[in-house]
Structure 1
Amino acid sequence: MTAFAKLAAVETKLLVREPGSLVSVLIPLFFLVVFGASADATDTVLLPMGMAIAVALIGLYLLPTTLASYRERGILRRMSTTPVRPGNLLTVQMILQLVLLAAATALQLAVAGGVLGLSLPAGFAPVALVFALGTAAMFAIGLLIAALAPTGRAANGIGVLLYFPMAYLAGLIQPARQMPASLARIGEYTPLGAFRTALGQAWTGQAPEPLPLVLLAAYTVLISAVAARAFRWE
């Protein structure tokens, strides 16, 4: 077994034992079950919202908290003196977080389609494209939090502070149609709001409007660049 494979095996065990992993999977599922139990079979809103919540929780909370905790404990610095470079740990963590997100998404799709009888996407390719862009944007924000937060607890707090206003503006806490028009409009330009808008459009078979896609791509590139410059290994 290669050093990279051994690292991946160890990190997988740690991620499975991490309570935040379970929280990131169960909260969106709980949301889906509670509201989906009384939803109409033609509903095309709840499942995209649940998927967006899962992306936001993992990207804004779990990913940055894990990386900032590793730096705080000196793990990244110590790894720089071994054959397993710190960059490998970052790569493994990104892969594992994506696998966790895929599992959370698959679970929601299975429950929504098999138990609740909710509508699945009209076309999977557009939904997959939007989902990938939204995930990239949320993970970029998570990496920026990890780069700037001095401790794991600080990263956790920053993630929570960002999540709730972003989720509200995106219409994940209160439907956008029930929000003040000005706030709903602002929400469309936030990373999570653009993600929810584009995902909802793709879910119903519409071609997503260009603006949300451009916003997601721009957020990903710009925030990733800032995170790369600010990231510290120790």
Structure 2
Amino acid sequence: MTTMTQPVRTHRSATRRLVTSELRLLRRDPLTLTFVLAFPIVSMLIIGGSFGTEADEAFPVNPTHWYVASYFATVIGATGLIMLPVHIASYRERGVLRRLSASGFPRWSFALAQLVIGVSAIVVSGILLLAVAAPVYGVPAVEDPARVAAGILAGSVAFVSIGILLGTLLPSARAAQAVGLMLFFPSFLLGVGGPPPAVLSDALRSIADVLPLKLVTDAVREPWLGIGDGTGPLLVVVAIAVVATALAARRTAL
């Protein structure tokens, strides 16, 4: 009986040690602090106050509430497209993954640790975002908590998995940073933190509608503000999460 359970205990211990180590390193990463913590908050404070507080033809609800709900998705995008790819690619560049494998850590334990780290970063950053928004713009009431939670969870898993996949594919931290920024900022400007969709041209709106980060934003924002149920975007985000998780798991098992 002992020989049957020992590998399971060893693997759980390995994952725990990896998560503890990664959480400690996360606090020392200035890039993480900038993009996952500071950038969404500062952007929300600037853009959120630029359109007043009255609904109009561009905004179906209070514009400040529109951006508070939207910027939660910015945290998800920053984590998956910038923080995790750079972090994992730097490990790969320095041969850390090979050393972990040689030390007896199962490769899936690294992927699981990164999933825990990514989701934890999103939760902490999202709470800070709402804490800052509350006294400045107010936090809009959540009309459909279950659907909002589903959108946040599916979006978080999707983008964390994308981040793990990018980190294992790109050859260096610098390459991961360049690719991450190129993917993040167009998605941010068109789908989350830029001008409202109503003022975009037809071409830009068509591009925005298929961006994964825009889909996550719609899956969260629509049920949050009561301007839709977000079912269509949520289903697509769930599909993206399944595919990205499968690909990331396959890469980390190599």
The one-letter amino acid paired with 1:28 is P
Q: CA RMSD in A?
A: 2.3
- 1:4 and 1:139 map into 2 onto residues whose CA distance is 17
Q: Is it true that 1:25 corresponds to 2:46 in the alignment?
A: no
2:154–2:237 Cα contact (<8 Å) kept = yes
Change (3 A) 1:193 1:79: same
SS in structure 2 at match of 1:80 = helix
2:108–2:252 Cα contact (<8 Å) kept = no
Q: For residue 102 of structure 2, what is the aligned residue in structure 1?
A: 81
Change (3 A) 1:10 1:171: closer
2:14–2:109 Cα contact (<8 Å) kept = no
- 2:158 and 2:17 map into 1 onto residues whose CA distance is 29
Q: For residue 90 of structure 1, what is the aligned residue in structure 2?
A: 111
The one-letter amino acid paired with 1:200 is R
- 1:147 and 1:182 map into 2 onto residues whose CA distance is 33
- 2:82 and 2:76 map into 1 onto residues whose CA distance is 10
2:115–2:157 Cα contact (<8 Å) kept = no
Q: Is it true that 1:11 corresponds to 2:27 in the alignment?
A: no
Further displaced range: 193-202 or 30-39: 30-39
Q: For residue 225 of structure 1, what is the aligned residue in structure 2?
A: 246
- 2:128 and 2:24 map into 1 onto residues whose CA distance is 20
State how many pairs are aligned: 233
State the Cα deviation string for residues 105-143 of structure 1 (Å, max 9, x = none): 111112222443242322322211111122222223212
Provide TM-score, normalisation by structure 2: 0.82
Shift in Å at residue 206 of structure 1?
A: 4.7
The one-letter amino acid paired with 1:218 is A
- 1:186 and 1:94 map into 2 onto residues whose CA distance is 29
- 2:174 and 2:233 map into 1 onto residues whose CA distance is 32
2:119–2:160 Cα contact (<8 Å) kept = no
1:189–1:215 Cα contact (<8 Å) kept = no
Shift in Å at residue 35 of structure 1?
A: 3.3
Further displaced range: 24-33 or 202-211: 202-211
Shift in Å at residue 48 of structure 1?
A: 1.8
Shift in Å at residue 230 of structure 1?
A: 4.2
Shift in Å at residue 102 of structure 1?
A: 0.4
Shift in Å at residue 32 of structure 1?
A: 1.9
Q: Is it true that 1:103 corresponds to 2:124 in the alignment?
A: yes
- 1:210 and 1:97 map into 2 onto residues whose CA distance is 24
- 2:232 and 2:124 map into 1 onto residues whose CA distance is 29
Provide TM-score, normalisation by structure 1: 0.88
SS in structure 2 at match of 1:44 = helix
2:19–2:116 Cα contact (<8 Å) kept = no
Q: Is it true that 1:34 corresponds to 2:46 in the alignment?
A: yes
Percent identity of equivalent pairs: 30
- 1:6 and 1:231 map into 2 onto residues whose CA distance is 18
- Consecutive unaligned residues in structure 1, runs of 5 or more: none
Pairing partner for 2:216 from 190, 195, 210: 195
State the Cα deviation string for residues 125-168 of structure 1 (Å, max 9, x = none): 22111111222222232122123201121111111111122223
1:68–1:155 Cα contact (<8 Å) kept = yes
Change (3 A) 1:93 1:230: closer
The one-letter amino acid paired with 2:247 is V
- 2:39 and 2:173 map into 1 onto residues whose CA distance is 21
- 2:199 and 2:252 map into 1 onto residues whose CA distance is 39
State the Cα deviation string for residues 28-84 of structure 1 (Å, max 9, x = none): 011122234564284431112211111111110101111111111111111112243
